[in-house]
């Protein structure tokens, strides 16, 4: 009892030692951008908001240089009349130079800050993170902090990009059988947008994937509940079903947009010796749009449509895995499957990097179209 009382008193005393600031004197950091610059220094850009007694919140952006993010924050305090504090950090953006060098030093320091949430989002850019934040700040049509956060958050919720939280990145980094991915932000018409996907080998950005390739990475590593996908399938099997020329072109493909896409996948190691994997993917979806006016009547025609979509997706998945093997990046988690299937010793990153380029993957894709008709 005495020990508990003593601990409680010490806690009260400690709380009393923490300096208190009126809320109007605080700059609450919501987004940071981190860039590698010369001589081992990093440049950190802070987007923060301050509370106005009139009820308005004002967003500001500032940038400073130091050897660490915390050091840059201390210097930023010297350049502001506000006390910059963490506690509301929702997004960290990393420039190309530091992402290619490796993020783990910065992220390790993040783990030591109890005020930072592991649910905050991470993103990368081919430009500098400073460019992205300053462009958003200068665009009077958007509020930088809300826009950048919602750019990531809304696209994750709509299943257009994969989840990219601090927690997911660190989990995949620490797992020798899987690599992280991050959304890639760029600027277009003086406005930040998500362009592609950054592929990481451990903590280093080594290659870029298109948005469609990002869709297929998620298809193999997770599940869709209401996804959307645009594909090009061969026109030839449906020439007799095309009622009228919707487009004045002679392309050999029909563009199909699939919506409300639900998927399930199962990856199994078929042969430990030959490194053979089998991937079964089941998809239920609806057709939102077709680039030609086609009347799909009867089960036979519907099955032919499903068959062509299955072929196209299988080919895309084969191309994706070949690309990932060439750059030795495993965002799908084949290494996880191998490690959990093969008993004996824990898989190391070095061992999987040696095995991964030699794995063989076969795909069994099954597509079920839930609604069809005349679509244009």
Q: Of the candidates 164, 180, 209, which is a domain's last residue?
A: 209
Half-sphere exposure of 163 (CA within 13 A, CB side): 15
Same domain for 40 and 131: yes
Q: Which residue in 298, 287, 292, 266 sits closest to 367, CA to CA? A: 287
The answer to whether the CB of 308 falls within 8 A of the CB of 237 is: yes
Same domain for 244 and 136: no
Max distance between CA atoms of the chain, in angstroms, equals 89
Q: Which residue in 146, 150, 181 sits closest to 163, CA to CA? A: 181
Q: Of the candidates 160, 187, 209, which is a domain's last residue?
A: 209
Q: What is the pLDDT of residue 18?
A: 45
Look at residue 16 and tell me if it is in a domain.
no
Q: What is the pLDDT of residue 260?
A: 94
Same domain for 53 and 169: yes
Cα angle 174-176-178, degrees, rounded to a multiple of 5:
90
The answer to whether the CB of 218 falls within 8 A of the CB of 114 is: no
Residue recorded with tokens 């890639």: 184
Same domain for 68 and 168: yes
Residue 258 token pair: 């699939």
How many residues does this entry show for the chain?
376
Q: How far apart are the first and last CA of the chain?
A: 77
Instruction: Give per-residue burial for 232-259: e unless 16+ CB within 10 Å, then b.
Output: ebebeebeeeeeeeeeeeeeeebebbbe
Look at residue 13 and tell me if it is in a domain.
no
Same domain for 272 and 231: yes
Half-sphere exposure of 302 (CA within 13 A, CB side): 14
Q: What is the pLDDT of residue 250?
A: 59
Look at residue 110 and tell me if it is in a domain.
yes
Same domain for 363 and 268: yes
Rounded to two decimals, the pTM is 0.88
Same domain for 143 and 81: yes
* Sign of the alpha-carbon torsion through 53, 57, 62, 67: positive
Q: What is the pLDDT along the chain (376 residues), one digit of tens a residue?
A: 434 434 433 443 344 444 565 666 788 889 999 999 988 899 999 998 877 666 565 778 899 999 989 898 888 888 877 788 887 899 999 999 999 999 999 999 899 888 888 999 999 999 999 999 999 988 877 888 889 999 999 999 999 999 999 999 999 999 989 999 999 999 999 899 999 999 999 999 999 999 999 999 999 999 999 999 999 988 877 776 666 555 555 578 889 999 999 999 999 999 999 999 999 999 999 988 888 777 766 788 888 889 999 999 999 999 999 999 999 999 999 999 999 999 887 899 999 999 999 999 999 999 999 865 444 4
Distance CA 69, CA 81 (A): 19
Look at residue 125 and tell me if it is in a domain.
yes
Look at residue 306 and tell me if it is in a domain.
yes
Residues 6+ apart with CB under 8 A from 368: 282, 283, 284, 285, 306
Same domain for 180 and 225: no
Same domain for 39 and 117: yes
Looking at the structure of the chain, the number of domains it has is: 2
Residue recorded with tokens 């895995």: 321
Q: Of the candidates 182, 209, 236, which is a domain's last residue?
A: 209
The answer to whether the CB of 361 falls within 8 A of the CB of 322 is: no
Burial (Cβ within 10 Å: 0-12, 13-18, ≥19) of residue 33: buried
What range defines the domain where residue 286 resides? 221-369
Q: Which residue in 334, 63, 84 sits closest to 220, CA to CA? A: 334
Same domain for 287 and 259: yes
């Amino acid at each position: 009892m005495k020990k508990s009382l003593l601990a409680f008193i010490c806690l009260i005393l400690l709380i009393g030692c923490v300096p208190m600031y009126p809320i109007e004197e605080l700059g609450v950091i919501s987004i940071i951008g981190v860039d590698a610059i010369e001589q081992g220094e990093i440049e950190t850009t802070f987007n923060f908001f301050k509370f106005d007694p009139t009820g308005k919140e004002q967003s500001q952006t500032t940038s400073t240089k130091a050897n660490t993010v915390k050091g840059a924050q201390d210097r930023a305090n010297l350049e502001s009349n506000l006390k910059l504090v963490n506690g509301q950090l929702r997004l960290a953006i990393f420039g190309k130079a530091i992402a290619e060098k490796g993020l783990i030093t910065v992220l390790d320091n993040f783990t030591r800050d109890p005020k930072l949430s592991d649910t905050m989002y991470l993103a990368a850019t081919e430009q500098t993170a400073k460019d992205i934040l300053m462009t958003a700040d200068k665009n009077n049509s958007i509020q930088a902090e809300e826009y950048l956060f919602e750019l990531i958050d809304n696209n994750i919720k709509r299943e257009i990009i994969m989840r990219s939280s601090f927690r997911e990145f660190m989990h995949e980094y620490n797992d020798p059988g899987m690599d992280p991915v991050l959304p890639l932000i760029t600027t277009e018409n003086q406005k930040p947008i998500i362009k592609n996907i950054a592929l990481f080998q451990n903590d280093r950005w080594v290659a870029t994937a298109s948005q469609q390739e990002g869709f297929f990475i998620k298809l193999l590593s997770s599940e869709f509940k209401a996804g959307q996908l645009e594909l090009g399938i061969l026109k030839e099997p449906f020439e007799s079903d095309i009622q009228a020329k919707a487009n004045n072109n002679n392309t050999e493909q029909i563009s199909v947009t699939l919506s409300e896409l639900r998927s399930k996948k199962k990856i199994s190691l078929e042969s430990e010796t030959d490194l053979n994997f089998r991937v079964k993917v089941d998809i239920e979806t609806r057709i939102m749009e077709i680039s030609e006016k086609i009347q799909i009547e009867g089960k036979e025609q519907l099955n032919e449509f499903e068959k062509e979509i299955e072929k196209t997706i299988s080919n895309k998945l084969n191309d994706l895995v070949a690309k990932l093997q060439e750059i030795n990046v495993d965002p799908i988690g084949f290494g996880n499957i191998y490690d959990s299937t093969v008993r004996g010793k824990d898989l190391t990153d070095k061992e999987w990097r040696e095995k991964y380029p030699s794995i063989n993957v076969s795909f069994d894709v099954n597509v079920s179209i839930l609604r069809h008709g005349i679509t244009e």
